[in-house]
Amino acid sequence: RATILSPAGELEVALPGRRRPRREDAGRPAGPIPTLREVERDYLARVLETTGGKLYGPGGAAEVVGLKPSTLQSLMKRLGVARPAGSR
């Protein structure tokens, strides 16, 4: 009955003393987990690349990340993120 009612169509049984890797862990690369600061820095750099370095106005980085432009600039300064070369 459990197999039939299982949403995945298969039954997983956790036996004592054994640990099966969770499905969401299966695709994750092994290695150190980046700090929040590193993730924020990489995210802002990617957004700035995508927007061509535009901070203000429609389609600007501030709109994309959901921050006021002045708040975004403060965050960029704190994280050491610069606008891409050749941006406006």
Of 60, 59, 53, 61, which Cα lies nearest the Cα of 83? 53
Residue 7 falls inside a structural domain: no
Name the domain count of the chain: 1
Question: Exposed, middle or buried: residue 70 (CB in 10 Å: 0-12, 13-18, 19+)?
Answer: exposed
Residue 87: alpha-carbon gap to chain centroid: 24
pLDDT of res. 6: 67
pLDDT of res. 32: 92
Domain enclosing residue 45, as ranges: 36-88
Residue 25: alpha-carbon gap to chain centroid: 16
Residue 78 falls inside a structural domain: yes
Q: What does each of the 88 residues of the chain score in pLDDT, given as a tens digit?
A: 666 666 776 767 777 775 666 666 666 677 899 999 999 999 999 999 999 999 999 999 999 999 999 999 999 999 999 988 877 6
Q: How far is residue 45's CA from residue 20's CA, in Å, rounded to a whole number?
A: 37
Residue 65 falls inside a structural domain: yes
